[in-house]
Homo-oligomer: A and B are copies of this chain.
Amino acid sequence: MAGNSFGTVFKLTTFGESHGEAIGGIIDGCPAGVSIDFDAIEAEMQRRKPGQSAIVTQRKESDSVKFLSGIFEGKTTGTPIGFVIDNTNQKSGDYSHIKDTYRPSHADYTYDQKYGHRDYRGGGRSSARETACRVVAGAIAKQLLKGVAITAYVSSVGELTLDKPYSALDFNKIETNPVRCADPELATQMEAYIKDIRKQGDTVGGTITCVLQNVPKGLGEPVFDKLHADLGKAMLSINAVKGFEYGSGFAGTQLKGSEHNDRFNPDGSTQTNYSGGVQGGISNGADIYFKVAFKPVATLMQTQETINNLGEVVAMKGKGRHDPCVVPRAVPIVEAMAALVLADFYLRSRLSKL
């Protein structure tokens, strides 16, 4: 089975190569009766869009989404929601430099090994352009999840790390700077650093922290589809992601049980939240928080040695316009994938009891 669907009840299936005619998707399983705010969807697309600031790729992409079905008189009908995003800028055409050449740490080699036949134009299916469809679907999922707050922000760029816990941050600051870091001072440093990296023709990695608030209790389907397990898969399915931790995460492995256990308050809430809002794979109503690791972008504006499909060593220089650091634009993608997971598990939770 191929792997272009995400979710079980609220299910997104996507299609599209970066330089084909269009990308798009189908959401099957969105219940009838959800009022759709198209401006809110457009706003999410703007957050993911290339060219939005000086520190992201200056590539031009039409990210305008066209809905083809499933919404009538402003509300979902319960039938599948089909949508497309045209690839208006895809004619360019000269891909001879990558047609037979495998870019280091890209998917060119593995796609050839797996499929034997690949759309080499601009990365084809492995391009991050595919994530635009995730943002569309995530924006609809957010509208289904009335009352739930999903907030992501950049928590590190290279070694520049935001050390404060999320609870010490003002989320209103996130969108005030192009890095999408919740700490404006650190954001300024990050921005300068990214510009410097770009001048070098290099790239750098970073992390994003995401917080889910007002999540209903009872979401999660043990023993395999634990809520955090599907959140982890969702994040790891985003291009360039290398790691995921939630709650106390890797640091929590160094604690003792007596330090790590979250004591209950009489109302069922807990005094601490090392659990990260999930116990036994099921949400407990506390904030869910997790961190996602992104590697540095593989496309460099430098000359690199690589090989072609004959195994010959060739020199390759990145063409076009690429992100020196992916995390600022990945913030809405992280949120979108979190929204997809929550919408799916929210609907699934309706089936738990008679």
Contacts and interface: CB of A to CB of B under 8 A. Distances in A.
A118 interface: yes
Contact of A79 (B17, B242, B297, B298): B17
B11 A28 contact: no
Contacts of A354: 31-34, 144
Contact of A78 (B114, B244, B267, B350): B114
Given A248-B295, A280-B111, A300 B261 contact: yes
Given A106-B279, A236-B232, A22 B114 contact: no
A266 B109 CA distance: 12
Nearest to A216: B113
Given A111-B282, A243-B249, 10 more contacts: A1-B29, A22-B82, A33-B115, A33-B117, A113-B284, A113-B285, A205-B253, A205-B254, A252-B293, A259-B296
Interface stretch (A54-62, A66-74, A162-170, A172-180): A66-74
A249 B75 CA distance: 37
Contacts of A50: none
A325 B349 CA distance: 32
Given A107-B281, A110-B220, A351-B1, A255 B26 contact: no
21 contacts: A2-B28, A3-B225, A13-B28, A13-B80, A15-B26, A15-B68, A16-B69, A33-B353, A68-B84, A72-B124, A79-B222, A116-B353, A130-B223, A203-B258, A204-B254, A236-B244, A242-B247, A245-B293, A257-B299, A260-B295, A268-B307
Interface string A287-321: 00000011111111010111100011100000000
Contact of A307 (B253, B266, B297, B311): B266
A126 to B, nearest CB: 4
Contact of A264 (B32, B204, B306): B306
A262 interface: yes
Nearest first, the 6 A-B pairs at minimum CB distance are A107-B280, A3-B225, A3-B221, A243-B245, A15-B82, A203-B257
Given A254-B159, A256-B197, A296-B257, A114 B217 contact: yes
A76 B265 CA distance: 29
A88 interface: no
B243 A243 contact: yes
Contacts of A244: 232, 236, 243-245
A336 interface: no
Nearest to A86: B68
A226 B217 contact: no
Contact of A69 (B11, B15, B75): B15
A250 to B, nearest CB: 5
B32 A284 contact: no
Nearest to A217: B113
A313 B228 CA distance: 29
A186 interface: no
